[in-house]
Structure 1
């Protein structure tokens, strides 16, 4: 037996395997997801991506009746879908309640006709929830309503449906087209309006 172990160690050495330092691979990180709509998904993807504990933010569509919708389907306002983002996060580093707290500050929840310069049903603010997420989201919405500097809360809490990822050219738009994104965001008046709604 000893000779077999020595032979195996020699074989591993020839193959470059360090048996003394070998360690099991790290366990995969447990993740959870949250889905939000807040107008232009380029902006939501950019802003939600900066939250500590967030691992990934995907632009897409949800809430409607058309399967595998295109951007044209959604902006035609015939699909019932909202421009939205799916946020994947590490629950050991942040929680759903904190994501909601940050979400409200990124949207104008007093405007149910769109968001900022983007108008129409597909741009309305909404939180899409699982049954377990609903009471947390409703409580968060009530708390956010008390902090508004102007207007009344109109954002909806809606049942989570299938999330359809957006076309490739929409993904990571703020990173890939920084100047165009900056000009769009400024011209749309998003940040100026957020100061009016929430203060500094």
Structure 2
């Protein structure tokens, strides 16, 4: 079934192409959840979602995990309103949970350069967690600047500007159920 954009402020013309469909996302999250449940069986797991982009993947992944898994949120930024990372990381919202002795799984929407995630891994590990791992829905292998060990990856995608399923441009397109490449003409206008 095709999405209904009749009431939206954009059309499928805003995108070069869809790179990951909603069905592909659901199937991959099912697979990742099986691995995560097995890897963390009997452990005190805390999911740490990175706002705002990881909201969709965090919610959908968490619903596939046991109900005793806890969640917390952190907001960090290295983007501002542009389409490329600035490389300077700022904490906009810190965690509420104490990480001492916990098994932490950072849930990310996308790994682009890896600079922000590398910083976040170091920060959370310094807080006394038993372990800190990463689950990311998307990764751009051609954009990576920092070598990061990512335990759970959904999809490798091209090094192009993507939106949807939590990812935005200027706070738009987050609610799309798929991930698509945004045409440069769209963000050049803004």
State TM-score, norm by structure 1.
0.29
- Identify, as 1 or 2, the structure richer in helix: 1
Higher-Rg structure is 1
Q: More strand per residue: 1 or 2? A: 2
